[in-house]
Structure 1
Amino acid sequence: MMPICGALVVALLLSQARGSLSPSEDEGGGGGGGVPSEWLLLHVVQGHIGAGNYSYLRLNHDGRIILHMRSLAGDADLYVSDKTLRPSFDAYKLQSATCGRDVVAVPGDFARPVGIGVYGHPAHEESEFEMRVFHDQTVAAETLDDKDSYASEDGRRNRKSPEAEEEEEEDDDFQEEESIFWTILIGLLKIVLEILF
């Protein structure tokens, strides 16, 4: 019985040591834990935002950009638009309003400059955030691969199956419904908070 318990304790200690030696997810710059090596770290932005307030940033980089934001304290939410430089929960194209890590992928075809709004959730007096801005270089590589496949001798094109296209459409519908749900919920919470305070 004792040798089995001893072996389990050693295995547990080894697994914990291996976890502490692996790179953390917060280390950025291509290849760092959880971030694909094709993503190039462009900027790291840190800031504080008061409850119910916005902090605005402007994105001028071309291509597909990934915004990774985490709340260090409180709860900061992310709103993105290529139509206004001051997006909010009333006017945005893309958003992430979780109670933790917020991620938004800005498509390469968005008009530049892109407006980024960081909102401090009213449940916290102040929110502190860190946003890492990545350039997704896989899109450029895929574009080159597509050009090569179009120029191939047999002229065949790599296309998605009808089933894959249907799944993408269903995912888009689900994300749109989820976005509408969160917009309505945030609006209701704002009204309730205004009535209470």
Structure 2
Amino acid sequence: MTLSRSALLVALLLSQAWSFLSLSEDDGVPEDWVLLHVVQGHIGAGNYSYLRLNHDGRIILHMRSLAGDADLYVSDNTLHPSFDFYKLQSVTCGQDVVVVPGDFSRPVGIAIYGHPSYQESEFEMRVFYDQAVPQDPFERSSYASENGRGGKTSTQAAEEDFQEEESIFWTILIGLLKIVLEILF
């Protein structure tokens, strides 16, 4: 019986080692992407960890939850985005990828959120710069002056208003569900 447990443990360790080796830094990453940073950390349930992105150009945030479930929120309007206020998000149970466009104003706020269903989440985020996208230093200012709204069209503004209303709805709904669950349990 101890032999079968030992064999099972060895098989588990080998599978973990294989998955670690198969997820190498160069695996599936285009040649035009340059690795800028690797950020590793832990985040408690319901908490945020904030980062600031100052690098110009198209940036790819590739985050992997090593344990638990960490989610990613990004905004160029605030340095402290949240699940209530963000421009880009990735909230999967595994790999989260967000592409930060080159026309986002810098600095960009990045929030890593520890999902409440896990006591603690461990993550690793790789930050890539996409060299394939040419940078035009005049693109941001000319776009903003053409639209007369700081770069946002009326369609974009309407979409942001709708997202904000939808976000408030979900916040209230989640709050009510938490109250009901606290009463029941």
- Could you say if the C-alpha distance between residues 136 and 56 of structure 1 is closer, same or farther in structure 2, counting changes exceeding 3 Å? same
Once residues 45 and 102 of structure 1 are traced to their aligned partners in structure 2, the CA distance between those partners, rounded to angstroms, is: 14
Once residues 88 and 44 of structure 1 are traced to their aligned partners in structure 2, the CA distance between those partners, rounded to angstroms, is: 22
TM-score by length of 2: 0.67
Counterpart residue number, 1:81: 75
Aligned AA for 1:123?
S
Aligned AA for 1:27?
S
* Alpha-carbon distance, 1:27 to partner: 1.9
Q: Give the one of 64, 67, 73 matched to 2:58.
A: 64
- 5 Å matches for 1:32-71? 32-71=26-65
Aligned CA-pair RMSD? 2.8
Q: Between the two proteins, what is the percent identity of the paired residues?
A: 69
Where 1:193 maps in the other structure, the secondary structure is helix
* Alpha-carbon distance, 1:184 to partner: 7.3
- Could you say if the C-alpha distance between residues 184 and 68 of structure 1 is closer, same or farther in structure 2, counting changes exceeding 3 Å? farther
Where 2:86 maps in the other structure, the secondary structure is coil
Once residues 85 and 71 of structure 2 are traced to their aligned partners in structure 1, the CA distance between those partners, rounded to angstroms, is: 14
Aligned AA for 1:135?
Y
Counterpart residue number, 1:196: 181
* Alpha-carbon distance, 1:88 to partner: 0.2
- Confirm or deny: 8 A CA contact 2:60 2:100 kept in the other structure: yes
- Could you say if the C-alpha distance between residues 82 and 47 of structure 1 is closer, same or farther in structure 2, counting changes exceeding 3 Å? same
Q: Is 2:24 aligned against 1:27?
A: yes
- Could you say if the C-alpha distance between residues 109 and 125 of structure 1 is closer, same or farther in structure 2, counting changes exceeding 3 Å? same
Ranges in structure 2 where 5+ consecutive residues have no aligned partner? 1-17, 137-155
* Alpha-carbon distance, 1:33 to partner: 1.4
Q: Is 2:114 aligned against 1:129?
A: no
Aligned AA for 2:65?
S
Q: Is 2:90 aligned against 1:96?
A: yes
* Alpha-carbon distance, 1:94 to partner: 0.3
Counterpart residue number, 1:148: none
Once residues 91 and 168 of structure 2 are traced to their aligned partners in structure 1, the CA distance between those partners, rounded to angstroms, is: 12
- Could you say if the C-alpha distance between residues 120 and 194 of structure 1 is closer, same or farther in structure 2, counting changes exceeding 3 Å? farther
- Could you say if the C-alpha distance between residues 98 and 189 of structure 1 is closer, same or farther in structure 2, counting changes exceeding 3 Å? farther
Ranges in structure 1 where 5+ consecutive residues have no aligned partner? 1-19, 144-171
Aligned AA for 1:83?
N
* Alpha-carbon distance, 1:119 to partner: 0.4
